[in-house]
Every structure is written in C-alpha cells, then in structure tokens.
Amino acid sequence: MNRGRHASLERYLAQAGAALSRGPTALILAEDAVEVGTTLRHHLAAGFREVVLLAHPDLLVDPTVEAQVSRVDFDVYAEDALVAAVNLMIPAVAGAWLYYGYNAEYLFYPFCETRNVRELIAFNFEERRNAFVSFVIDLYAGDLAQFPNAVSLEEAMLDRTGYYALQRKDEAAGWAAKDRQMDFYGGLRWRFEEHVPWTKRKIDRIALFRAAPDLRLRPDFTFTDEEYNTYQCQWHHNVTTAICSFRTAKALKANPSSRYDIPTFLWRNSIPFEWQSRQLMDLGLMEPGQWF
C-alpha cells in the first residue's frame, strides 16, 4: 500500500488501485484536532488493513501514527463531507468492506478485545449480510470545568438508559413501514434535542459495509440499497456494532447557541464508560446475534 501524504482523495484512489480491494479499510475524517491520534490507533489495532485519514492540510498529527496511515488533504468543512468521500470510495473498493467515521469516534463490536474486525466481517458475510447497523453512543466528560471541550478518555461517561426506536416509514409508499428498518434515538441528541436539528437526531448509522458499484450513501447515513439499512436478516438477529463518540458533546460545547445553556452533561443515568464491549452488550447497546 502506498501510504504517505496525498493531495486529494481522487489521487489517493488512483495510486492505491487494486490494493484497496483486499479491505477492510477505515476512512476517518478529522473535523478538528481532538483525539485524532487515538482514533487512528484504535482502528489500526482493530485490524483494518488500511486506515485513511481525511484532514485539513494544516492539521498536525503524531508522526509515528501518521506513518502508519494514508493521509489525504480534504475539505473537511464542506457540507456532508464524509458522505461525499464515502461515495467517492465506493466504486474504487467495490467488493471490499469499508468503515467510515470521524475523529474522537471509536468502533466497538462484540468481543472486540479478542477478535479483530476481519473475523467480524467474515462471520457476517457467512450470514449473507453486507452491512452492519452501528449505534452512535455519545461519550462526554463528567467535569466540563476541567474538560471544556467535553472530551476525556480517562473520565468518559455515557447514558445507560434513554434509548428508543421508531418504525422507519417509506414516504414513496404512502408512509408504509419499511421492512426491518427502524430509526434509533437517545443520548445527548435526545436529552438536548432543542439544540439539534431534527434531521440529525437519530443515532443509527450504517458505518461498516461491503461496497458495491451502484451503491450510494445518503446524507442520513443510510444506503440506496434498502437491505443494507435493515437491522437484522429475516430469520434471526445479527451482530450490531457501536460507535462510541465524543462528536455530539464536542459540538454542543463548541456551538455558541448551546455552549452556555449546558453546564453539565451529567444526569441520574450517567455512568463511567469502561472501554469494553461487554459493558455495551450488557446495556443492550450492541447485539452479538449468533456470534458467540
């Protein structure tokens, strides 16, 4: 793999060529400088064969970590920047698996402490599934006076309750219920919904998937192939994943309209995050399906 610095995503894809077809690849967009290094290390340790960092040209990254990834100069401030990048990647990696996320977001899956992401994908593919539902679980610092950007890996908190799902409707079919599809809500976007546009409140994301030539990612993180958007197959439950993310907490404390209205994210259902998959499964935030 031709790692190093690339002037654009198009140039990177042209140079990477067939090497990307092995997969899986993790595509990380750095919206700012917060925890970029730990995000890259986390996904390298998970077993992705290639990690691609989309970043502003001026962003400084730990050189020892940057040497292990492919860095691409990218307009990270464009509207739906990550969606656009994924849609550029899909035809180039068709047939291979791709994950996408932001900095200060960490992919977890059942038993990730002892099984790598390639084993997870192999199992899911045997189940004839081409995608995983990921639930974005908000993390936040307990002490905002000490951590004003709401980010602390050592003192990360999450909500143990307050999650729910609503049947997803099909506007084109007279608002009939979509088969095996639901919109999931909870976390900070639910508790502070007055500060979050209604189109950004759901927490489900199809973040790990097998690319196909005609597949397109929509701005709401669902795909044009409706089977990709289902949370399970027709005969039993399937594995789901979790993306433990400081992104919402960061945004709520950075946005002037919400910064001063939120003195703390703590409430009666806040608990420390243990950085392990067992806690997420015990809380019902991740499903092992038939993978034991």
Q: What is the pLDDT of residues 264-281, one digit of tens each?
A: 999 999 999 999 999 999
Q: Based on the domain organization, do 172 and 43 belong to the same domain? A: no
Q: Where are the alpha helices (DSSP H) in the chain?
A: 9-16, 36-46, 63-66, 81-92, 117-126, 187-191, 247-254, 256-259, 277-282
Q: Based on the domain organization, do 1 and 47 belong to the same domain? A: yes
Q: Based on the domain organization, do 142 and 240 belong to the same domain? A: yes
Number of domains in the chain: 2
How far is Cα 202 from Cα 257, in angstroms, rounded to an integer? Answer: 20
Asked which of 103, 129, 157 is the last residue of a domain, the reply is 103
b/e 208-222 (16+ beta carbons within 10 angstroms → b):
bbbbbeebebeeebb
Q: Based on the domain organization, do 38 and 145 belong to the same domain? A: no
Q: Based on the domain organization, do 231 and 155 belong to the same domain? A: yes
48-63 pLDDT, tens digit each = 999 999 999 999 999 9
Q: What is the mean pLDDT of the chain?
A: 94
> How remote is the C-alpha of 213 from its chain's centroid?
22
pTM score over 0.85: yes
Q: Based on the domain organization, do 174 and 260 belong to the same domain? A: yes
Is there a contact between 273 and 244 (Cβ–Cβ < 8 Å)? yes
Asked which of 68, 103, 138 is the last residue of a domain, the reply is 103
Domain residue limits at 61: 1-103
Q: Based on the domain organization, do 16 and 140 belong to the same domain? A: no
Residue 190's SS3 state is helix
Asked which of 45, 74, 103 is the last residue of a domain, the reply is 103
